[in-house]
Structure 1
Amino acid sequence: MIEVNIYNESTHKYLPSKLMTQAVLKVAEREIKKTGEISIIICSDSFIHELNINFLNHDYATDVITFEIESNPLVGEIYISADTAKLQALDYGVPFRDELLRLSIHGTLHLAGYKDDSEEEKRKMTIKEDFYLQMLKEGN
């Protein structure tokens, strides 16, 4: 069983915490199959920018960064920039809630071993994200 914790370190008051937890658990159940803990930290662009510089040597803000702290039992942290998620939601014409769900799924897929370094890997991850979003919408 995976325990999911969500921490809001952003200025955004409304977060779909229950749905985000369901999304992570759905992915973990099918893709990870380990016990452990996944923490989702909703943060600002400036905070995720600092993480990106300090840990990945990238000098820009991004939407999501995932760290696997331990593998067995799994301990993972998923950082999501609420600022970038909000902008992406506007760009994609989707609700902010749906973008947070997609990024939660995306981060969990990284913990399951999925990569997005190439266009083919990105395509596969997008297909998986769509699959899990659809499952959530259908209540499965």
Structure 2
Amino acid sequence: GPGRRSSLTLVNRHPGREVNLPALRRIAQALLRETWPGCRFDLGIYMVAAAEMARLNETFLRHSGSTDVITFDYAQSPGAGAQPGPPPALLHGEILVCLDEAISQARRFRTTWQSELIRYVVHGVLHLRGYDDRSHRLRQQMKKAEDGLVRRLAGRFDFGALG
């Protein structure tokens, strides 16, 4: 019912890379609160290695190889994707982020893996919010929202504290 508390689950399943989960929790909560105040959430964020991400990508999306982020949306949001509408009463989903991908992309884009990790989390949350990247126009719109949120969070938090 309406009294349900929000819940945020963070799990690092990567065998070789430590992540400061309390720091990530603070950033993720700020992202959720500031972007959609009053919206309850039941969200899991899982950090995985490339091998696990490749399996998930193959199993659920029928794509081969690893990828940066996969989002599972469990909220019923009819017609989501056309246009970001009013926030759903509950954001409900799971975001899987590949730390290996964050590390290699960070090298490519001359940024840090921590900053890439936050970008993936932001990307996943935007998907749960109804943003879509299936067409060029929608992708541009989503990228603009993503860049703005990453910048705002970077101004408030030290991403370096993530690991």
Larger Rg, first or second structure (1 or 2)? 2
Confirm whether residue 98 of structure 1 aligns to residue 98 of structure 2. Answer: no
Letter in 2 for 1:132: L
Which has the higher mean CA deviation after the structures are superposed, 87-96 or 11-20?
A: 11-20
CA contact (8 A) 2:47 2:96 kept: yes
Q: Which residue of 2 aligns with 1:9?
A: 13
Match in the other structure for 1:41: 46
Give the whole-Å Cα distance in 2 for the aligned partners of 1:102 and 1:83.
14
What residue in structure 2 maps to residue 118 of structure 1?
A: 135
Alignment correspondent of 2:94: 77
Pick closer, same or farther for the CA change 1:36–1:128 going to 2, 3 Å. same
Number of matched pairs: 140
Contact kept, 8 Å, 1:66 with 1:76, in 2: the verdict is yes
Q: Say if 1:6 and 1:41, in contact at 8 Å, map to a contact too.
A: yes
1:27-71 CA deviation, whole Å, 9 max, x = no partner? 433248531211110001111111111111112211000001234
- Kindly tell me: are residues 79 and 32 of structure 1, through their superposed partners in 2, closer, same or farther at Cα, counting changes over 3 Å? farther
Query: Which structure features the higher share of strand residues?
Result: 1
Percentage identity across paired residues of the two chains: 26
Q: TM-score, normalised by structure 1?
A: 0.86
- What is the match of residue 55 of structure 2? 50
Q: After TM superposition, give the deviation of residue 136 of structure 1 in Å.
A: 1.4
**Structure 2 unmatched ranges of 5 or more:** 77-88, 158-163
Give 3-state SS (helix, strand or coil) of 2:66's partner.
coil
Q: Give me the CA root mean square deviation.
A: 2.2
Unaligned runs of 5+ residues in structure 1 are: none
Q: Cα deviations across residues 84-113 of structure 1 (Å, max 9, x unaligned)?
A: 111001101001110001111011111111
Question: Is 1:64 matched with 2:64?
Answer: no
Q: Which structure shows the higher helix fraction?
A: 1
Rate the CA distance shift 1:104–1:91 in 2: closer, same or farther, 3 A: same
8 Å contact from structure 1 (residues 23, 105) kept in 2: no
- Change in Cα spacing, 1:61 to 1:136, as seen in structure 2 (3 Å) is same
- 8 A contact 1:27–1:109 mirrored in 2: no
